[in-house]
């Protein structure tokens, strides 16, 4: 029920924000399309806690604020490396095991790695992610433990309770 109401609220807000037409007829047609789309999502069984994680929204916001701070810190390291006269990078490929259970949490973790400058998720297979990093010293699998733990806490509905 939370997923359904959340989907209706998000689709309604999106429609209102993007349409720019607020006459009664157009607004009613928009509301009808939002309700119809939401009912179809339920009937097609595509609406679940993974596809619409609205109950986890406060945790997701906390995670994204933490991730922005990590991105800024990683940007600083990459900028310093780029501005040095000698490029002293030491690239490495490492396999990182994730504790995330749902596909959404695994994808969030892999995307968070890629968003962080200096690291790129190359392959996600099962519970392992192949990561390319600029510096071998900072690319040890345990360096990603906090990000893994927090992405599971924020997004993984099965692991968050």
pLDDT in tens, 123-132: 999 899 999 9
pLDDT in tens, 7-33: 888 899 999 999 888 899 999 999 999
Q: What is the pTM assigned to this prediction?
A: 0.72
Rounded to an integer, the average pLDDT of 93-110 is: 90
Whether 38 has a pLDDT exceeding 50, the answer reads yes
Can you give the pLDDT at residue 50? 65
**Cα 122–124–127 angle (5° rounding)?**
140
Whether 48 has a pLDDT exceeding 80, the answer reads no
């Amino acid at each position: 029920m939370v997923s359904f109401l959340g989907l209706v609220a998000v689709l309604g807000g999106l429609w209102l924000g993007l349409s720019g037409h607020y006459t009664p007829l157009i607004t009613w047609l928009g509301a009808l399309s939002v309700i119809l789309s939401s009912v179809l999502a339920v009937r097609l069984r595509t609406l679940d806690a993974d596809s619409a994680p609205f109950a986890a929204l406060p945790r997701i916001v906390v995670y994204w604020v933490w991730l922005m701070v990590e991105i800024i810190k990683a940007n600083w390291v990459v900028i310093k490396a780029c501005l040095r006269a000698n490029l002293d990078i030491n690239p490495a490929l490492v396999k990182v095991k994730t504790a995330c259970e749902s596909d959404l949490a695994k994808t969030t973790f892999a995307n968070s790695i890629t968003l962080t400058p200096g690291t790129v998720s190359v392959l996600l297979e099962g519970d392992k992610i192949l990561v390319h990093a600029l510096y071998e010293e900072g690319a040890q699998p345990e360096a990603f433990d906090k990000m893994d733990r927090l992405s599971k806490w924020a997004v993984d509905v099965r692991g968050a309770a």
